[in-house]
């Protein structure tokens, strides 16, 4: 099984530790992980801003980088969702379809493909889980509060395997944090208000860490926490699942 | 009554709304409470998701066969003694309604809630013709007294606090100053409205559902104001968009079970009134309005927005709507559904609305007829940007970014000299003019990218 690691551009540039944790976490599970070095971005920042029509070169590059692997795994539900829904090929659409079908968000790869039962990780902290919308409602990584159906959560299943970790329940378990790509600057006031409200929900349950499977949401929340000089910290779920502290 | 004002974009109006944070908190909690009531009501129905699917399929069938159903509806309505009118535009609709009123010589009329007449700006038009229209839905009457448009399709004055309503009633209805007890104010409104009901020989209503098989219309209210108006009037004018059709009476149950639960968490609206024919001596008119709907029907991407039954659930659940208020959308129908309907009518004017969303998808999940609202928001963004209605600066930045992201060498090089995203993603540009920085710190750029780390530490692996 050849697995390619897809590291979203902003993780590559700003949060290399999240990428390293993802790589180590997969290696610990005995996966043979390759990192195609010519990768850049999935094209989502442009597409969500309405510029899907200029993303063909990024799409072509993505297909060229990842087509040969059995699986593509990425620590971002949002980028994976974008690839799954909007990746198209210039020449051979079958190639795009192959890529779309074999890309997985990290937690779903762990629970659904590897079917991990044990992580041998330890993280002795009180943690709140932020459900990023694209992973949750787009990739259905967990049940959504709007839907009348059985409860499940791939992230929670994994977090519950971590020794010492205490997971709290939120008042609003899956409300959006307000990041939303260019929304976070185009609609600055609402974006920040949404972020502040999410943080308040976590803080009122005495969390030490806010985690989630999308670093973009967490980057937005971290920006607000730092401005508020809060002691609450941000950790990507890969860092927690890979932790031994 | 004039609702005309300079059209400011959603972000600007939302930013204004956020000047008063405690008010935003109050607005958010009030609507979240409604969303929670909806959840409880939905969970009472084990087959809820199935019911949504059935409703969606009935509506799909209606859109596929709308022409035939409309003809069938018209035929039965005429047979029942109803006069049927067709309007292609809001102007035609308003002219038809006015013509009916003019022939009676009546100057004072009552109207129960109708989003279609809001869409057509009927009130403003009739006022200009010297006709005094009183909205009889309590929430609608409140915003009418305040000279404001509704901020929500089900809860028109949800943006108003009871103290403000008390002051408004003191000013317009002469209630004692400082009394804002909701029960007292409701009683005062009832006395005021009853007077108007008795005086009005003409009643306008909206239409929730129109049954093709029988030629009857169904109007859902909680206050019974549609019934009161119609029963006391000599002339009943019902105004509806052509998409309100359902094929058969037996389909109604599906929608009535979904509508009130989705809207307010009630099992059903207090009144679900069937109007199938005029009383002896009464006139009954139905005005069917297109206003861009048949154009929408041609579009695979956007047609299913016509399935909407106007429950407002997408507004109550929308984290952006709750924190920006209905008026920030500047359209009769606010929130997520309004943001996909408005650009269909005037793409240039409402080009900002599809961007007033994080695409979180909660709207799509609560929608009782399964409209893919957030996907349509995404699609509208593509159409609007291609048409050039976005900002030129953004287009330039996006094109520069796309160029770098499609050239790996350029990407690594730009990354090395200061992190490519710092340059092109506006939210990581560190200065006081940058909206990101206003209330958020920047992420701290690490010493090296993951790509550089990998080349140093794991070179033997990848390729």
**Tokens linked to A52:** 């899907």
Chain B touched by A150 (CB under 8 Å): no
Contact across the interface for A45 and B425, Cβ inside 8 Å: yes
Distance CA A220, CA B137 (A): 42
Chain B touched by A51 (CB under 8 Å): yes
**Tokens linked to A238:** 């890969």
* Residues in chain B with pLDDT values less than 70: 1-6, 391-393, 413-433, 459-463
Question: Chain A residue with minimal CA distance to B323?
Answer: A190
Nearest to A180 among B17, B359, B445 (CB): B359
Chain A touched by B42 (CB under 8 Å): yes
| Residue showing tokens 């299943």 | A157
Nearest to B440 among A46, A134, A224 (CB): A224
The pLDDT value recorded for residue B7 is 80
Residues 73-132 of A with CB under 8 A from B: none
Contact across the interface for A7 and B450, Cβ inside 8 Å: yes
The pLDDT value recorded for residue B2 is 40
Residues in chain B within 8 Å Cβ distance of A37: 408, 451, 454-455, 462-463
Chain A touched by B364 (CB under 8 Å): yes
Question: Chain A residue with minimal CA distance to B49?
Answer: A148
What's the average model confidence in pLDDT over A82-101?
96
Close Cβ partners of B238 (under 8 Å, ≥ 6 residues apart)? B204, B205, B206, B207, B217, B219, B275, B284, B285, B286, B287
Q: Which of A175, A192, A193 to mutate to test the interface with B (most CBs of B within 10 A)?
A: A193
CB atoms within 10 A of CB B162: 11
3-state SS record for chain B: CCCCCCCCCHHHHHHHHCCCHHHHHHHHHHHHHHHHHHHHHHHCCCCHHHHHHHHHHHHHHHHHCHHHHHHHHHHHHHHCCCEEEEECCHHHHHHHHHHHHHHHCCCEEEECCCHHHHHCCHHHHHHHCCCEEEECCHHHHHHHHCCCCCCCCCCCCCCCCHHHHHHHHHHHHCCCCCCCCHHHHHHHHHHHHHHHHHHCCEEEECCCEEECCCCEEEEEECCCHHHHHHHHCCEEEEEEEHHHEECCHHHHHHHHHHHHHHHCCCCCCCEEEEECCCCCCCEEEEEEECCCHHHHHCCCCCHHHHHCCCCCHHHHHCHHHHCCCHHHHCCCCCHHHHHHHHHHHCCCCCCCHHHCCCCCCHHHHHCCCCCCHHHHHHHHHHHHHHCCCCCHHHHHHHHHHHHHHCCHHHHHHHHHCCCHHHHHCHHHCCCCCCHHHHHCCCCCCCCCCHHHHHHHHCCCCCC
What's the average model confidence in pLDDT over A148-155?
97
**Tokens linked to B457:** 């530490």
**Tokens linked to B194:** 């009853």
**Helix/strand/coil for A199:** helix
The pLDDT value recorded for residue B460 is 61
Above 60 in pLDDT, residue A56?
A: yes
The pLDDT value recorded for residue B442 is 82
The pLDDT value recorded for residue B1 is 39
Per-position DSSP letters for A28-50, written without gaps between them? HTT-EEE--TT----SHHHIIII
Which segment of A9-13, A41-45, B17-21, B430-434 scores lowest on mean pLDDT? B430-434
Q: Are B317 and B363 in contact (CB under 8 A)?
A: yes
3-state SS record for B401-413: HHHHHCCHHHHHH
Chain B closest-CA separation from residue A167 CA (Å):
23
Mean pLDDT of chain A: 96
The pLDDT value recorded for residue B417 is 47
The pLDDT value recorded for residue B63 is 98
Between A and B, how many residue pairs show a Cβ–Cβ distance under 8 A? 238
Chain B touched by A52 (CB under 8 Å): yes
Residues in chain B within 8 Å Cβ distance of A79: none
Distance CA A85, CA A145 (A): 23
The pLDDT value recorded for residue B427 is 52
Chain B closest-CA separation from residue A245 CA (Å):
22
What's the average model confidence in pLDDT over A28-55?
92
Contact across the interface for B358 and A186, Cβ inside 8 Å: no
Residues in chain B within 8 Å Cβ distance of A55: 402
Burial of B434 (0-12, 13-18, 19+ CB in 10 A): middle
What's the average model confidence in pLDDT over A209-224?
97
Q: Are B433 and A14 in contact (CB under 8 A)?
A: no
- Give the closest residue to B239 by CA, choosing from B53, B376, B84: B84
Nearest to B461 among A35, A185, A224 (CB): A35
Question: Chain A residue with minimal CA distance to B411?
Answer: A40
Number of H helices, E strands in chain A: 13, 8
Residues in chain B within 8 Å Cβ distance of A16: 446, 448-450, 453
Nearest to B415 among A13, A39, A195 (CB): A13
The pLDDT value recorded for residue A6 is 98
Residues in chain B within 8 Å Cβ distance of A33: 461
The pLDDT value recorded for residue B416 is 54
Chain A touched by B446 (CB under 8 Å): yes
ipTM: 0.96
The pLDDT value recorded for residue B43 is 98
Distance CA B264, CA B312 (A): 9
- State the pTM of this model: 0.94
Residues in chain A within 8 Å Cβ distance of B461: 33-35
The pLDDT value recorded for residue B462 is 45
| Residue showing tokens 């087959």 | B47
Contact across the interface for A45 and B49, Cβ inside 8 Å: no
**Tokens linked to A167:** 């997971």
C-alpha distances (whole Å) from A87 to each of A27, A134, A159, A223, B159 are: 28, 16, 31, 30, 41
């Amino acid at each position: 099984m050849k697995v390619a690691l897809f590291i979203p551009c902003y993780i590559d540039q700003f949060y290399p530790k999240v990428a390293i944790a993802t790589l180590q976490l997969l290696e610990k599970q005995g996966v043979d992980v390759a990192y195609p070095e010519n990768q850049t971005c999935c094209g989502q920042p442009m597409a969500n801003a309405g510029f899907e029509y200029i993303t063909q070169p990024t799409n072509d590059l993505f297909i060229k980088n990842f087509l040969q692997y059995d699986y593509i795994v990425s620590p971002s539900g949002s980028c994976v969702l974008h690839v799954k829904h909007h990746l198209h090929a210039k020449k051979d659409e079958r190639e795009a379809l192959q890529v779309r079908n074999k890309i997985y968000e990290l937690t779903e790869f762990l629970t659904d493909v590897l079917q991990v039962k044990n992580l041998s990780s330890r993280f002795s902290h009180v943690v709140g889980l932020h459900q990023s919308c694209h992973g949750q409602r787009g990739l259905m990584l967990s049940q959504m509060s709007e839907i009348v159906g059985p409860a499940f959560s791939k992230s929670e299943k994994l977090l519950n395997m971590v020794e010492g970790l205490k997971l709290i329940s939120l008042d609003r378990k899956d409300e959006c944090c307000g990041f939303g790509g260019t929304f976070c600057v185009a609609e600055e006031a609402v974006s920040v208000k949404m972020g502040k409200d999410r943080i308040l929900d976590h803080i009122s349950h005495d969390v030490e860490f806010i985690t989630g499977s999308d670093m973009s949401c967490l980057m937005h929340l971290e920006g607000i926490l730092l401005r508020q000089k809060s002691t609450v910290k941000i950790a990507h779920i890969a860092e927690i699942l890979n932790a031994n502290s | 009554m004039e609702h005309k004002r300079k059209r400011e974009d959603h972000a600007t109006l939302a930013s204004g709304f956020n000047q008063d944070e405690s008010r935003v908190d109050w607005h958010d909690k009030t609507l979240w409470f409604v969303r929670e009531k909806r959840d409880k009501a939905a969970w009472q129905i084990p087959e809820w998701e199935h019911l949504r699917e059935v409703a969606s399929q009935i509506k799909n069938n209606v859109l596929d066969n709308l022409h035939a159903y409309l003809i069938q509806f018209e035929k039965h309505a005429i047979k029942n003694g109803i006069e049927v009118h067709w309007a292609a535009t809001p102007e035609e609709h308003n002219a038809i309604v006015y013509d009916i009123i003019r022939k009676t010589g009546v100057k004072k009329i009552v109207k129960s809630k109708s989003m279609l007449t809001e869409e057509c700006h009927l009130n403003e038009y009739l006022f200009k013709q010297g006709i005094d229209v009183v909205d009889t839905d309590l929430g609608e009457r409140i915003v009418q007294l305040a000279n404001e448009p509704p901020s929500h399709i089900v809860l028109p004055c949800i943006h108003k606090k009871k103290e403000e309503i008390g002051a408004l009633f003191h000013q317009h209805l002469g209630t004692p100053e400082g009394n804002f007890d909701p029960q007292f104010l409701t009683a005062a409104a009832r006395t005021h409205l009853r007077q108007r009901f008795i005086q009005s020989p003409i009643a306008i209503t909206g239409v929730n559902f129109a049954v093709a098989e029988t030629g009857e219309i169904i109007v859902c209210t909680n206050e019974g104001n549609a019934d009161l108006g119609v029963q006391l009037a000599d002339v009943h004018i019902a105004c509806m968009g052509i998409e309100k059709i359902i094929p058969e009476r037996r389909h109604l149950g599906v929608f009535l079970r979904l509508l009130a639960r989705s809207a307010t968490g009630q099992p059903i609206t207090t009144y679900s009134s069937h109007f199938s024919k005029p009383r002896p001596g009464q006139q009954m008119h139905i005005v069917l309005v297109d206003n861009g709907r048949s154009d929408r029907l041609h579009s695979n991407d956007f047609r299913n927005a016509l399935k909407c039954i106007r429950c407002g659930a997408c507004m109550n659940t929308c984290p952006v709507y709750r924190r920006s208020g209905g008026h920030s959308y500047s359209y009769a129908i606010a929130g997520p559904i309004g943001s996909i309907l408005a650009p269909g009518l005037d793409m240039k004017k409402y080009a900002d609305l599809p961007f007033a969303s994080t695409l979180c998808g909660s709207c799509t999940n609560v929608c009782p007829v399964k409209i893919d609202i957030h996907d349509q928001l995404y699609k509208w963004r593509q159409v609007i940007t291609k048409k050039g209605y976005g900002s030129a600066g953004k287009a330039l930045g996006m094109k520069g970014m796309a160029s770098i992201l499609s050239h790996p060498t350029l990407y690594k090089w730009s990354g090395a000299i200061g992190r490519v995203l710092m340059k092109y993603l506006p939210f990581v540009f560190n200065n006081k003019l940058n909206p990101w920085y206003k209330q958020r710190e920047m992420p701290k750029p690490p010493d090296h990218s993951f790509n550089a780390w990998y080349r140093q530490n794991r070179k033997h692996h990848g390729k």
